[in-house]
Amino acid sequence: TMSSNSSTLLNEENAQGAKTSAECLESLLQTPSSFQDNPLQQLQLASQEVLEKAKKSGRSKCPRCNSSRMFYCYTCFVPVETVPTKEIPTVKLPLKIDIIKHPNETDGKSTAVHAKLLAPDDVTIYKYPCIPEYGEKRHEIALIFPGPNSVSVKDIAFHLQKYTKKGVCASDDDCCREPLLKQAKIEHEEEKNLNECISSSRNDGTRLKKIIFIDSTWNQTNKIITDERLQGLLQIELKTRKTCFWRHQKGKPDTYLSTIEAIYYFLVDYHQEILKESYKGQYDNLLFFFSFMYTLIKDAKCCAGKE
């Protein structure tokens, strides 16, 4: 989650006026670890020259609401005037993404807007409590949320079958109402259908149509996750990865990711585990803004002697 960090950052740099750009560069060259420690350096990103230019020119107007912003408007989901849309990469996703934003989550601190800016055709942002009804399509939708019933990405195909007519019973009670012999026959057929569907799903990767992310602080999440419209959805947990987010939530483990990081890492896992394809940076540009801000803030802290 992110705000007009760049303007705050630039003010901070001005306040540290004792160091010139040359001194800053010299400092960075003397501490190569500031680059080596950057876990985002291996990303295959489009040129960020447009962001470098925008940073130098400072804040600019949003073409829709005329608000003064840095890089993009986080309320209109569009780049500012100094960042031409044609110079922003576009990422095509293998499925649709819904982001449910907590009403108290500060717009300017959210990284969810990155996904909308970079994958506009595949991402929709909703402000809670205005969210869709997902019940009828829960056999093709999953929710990213760590919990006691969450499953790994590689097991998505198996568990989604429980929500289809060919899958297992909707509840254990339904199964128990059948006579034992009939129940055994049902279970045999279900297992056969389940294996066929899993095989098909793994081959074409199309069974999962939409993934839902919650954009809020972890302390705010409970209000959304307990909403009746999200009950019964398959919950997915991501492999343990450490966040690079500069606004890390105090007292929370470093495995708590920002929204854009969670989206990116899910898609990488999905690409490898479900689509069964080698990952060659197809979704790296989702971190186009994130990686730029990460480097900008890390370098600024270095110049200010904070590292």
Looking at the whole model, is its pTM more than 0.85?
no
Handedness of CA 138, 142, 145, 149 (dihedral sign): positive
How many Å is the maximal CA-CA distance in the chain?
83
Tokens 């609401």: give the residue.
Answer: 65
Report residue 147 as tokens: 């919990």
Q: Which of 139, 151, 178, 113 is nearest to 269 (CA)?
A: 151
* Confidence (pLDDT) at 193: 54
Question: In a 3-state reduction of DSSP, which class is residue 41?
Answer: coil
What pLDDT score was predicted for residue 299?
A: 75
> What are the DSSP E strand ranges found in 147-294?
210-215, 234-236
Please state the length of the chain. Answer: 307
Helix 288-303 to helix 49-57 angle, to the nearest 10 degrees?
50
Sign of the torsion angle spanned by Cα atoms 195, 152, 131, 210: negative
CATH topology assigned to domain 89-161+206-245+253-306: Alpha/beta knot (3.40.1280)
Residue 130's Cβ-side half-sphere holds a number of Cα atoms within 13 Å equal to: 5
Going from N- to C-terminal start, the domains of the chain cover 50-88, 89-161+206-245+253-306
Sequential pLDDT tens for the chain (307 residues):
433 333 334 343 333 333 333 343 333 333 333 434 566 888 999 999 999 999 999 999 999 999 999 999 999 999 999 999 999 999 999 999 999 999 988 888 889 999 999 999 999 999 999 999 998 888 899 999 988 889 999 999 888 877 764 444 444 444 333 444 544 555 555 555 555 554 554 444 448 999 999 998 777 888 899 999 999 999 999 876 776 765 555 555 555 688 999 999 999 999 999 999 999 999 999 999 999 998 888 777 777 665 4
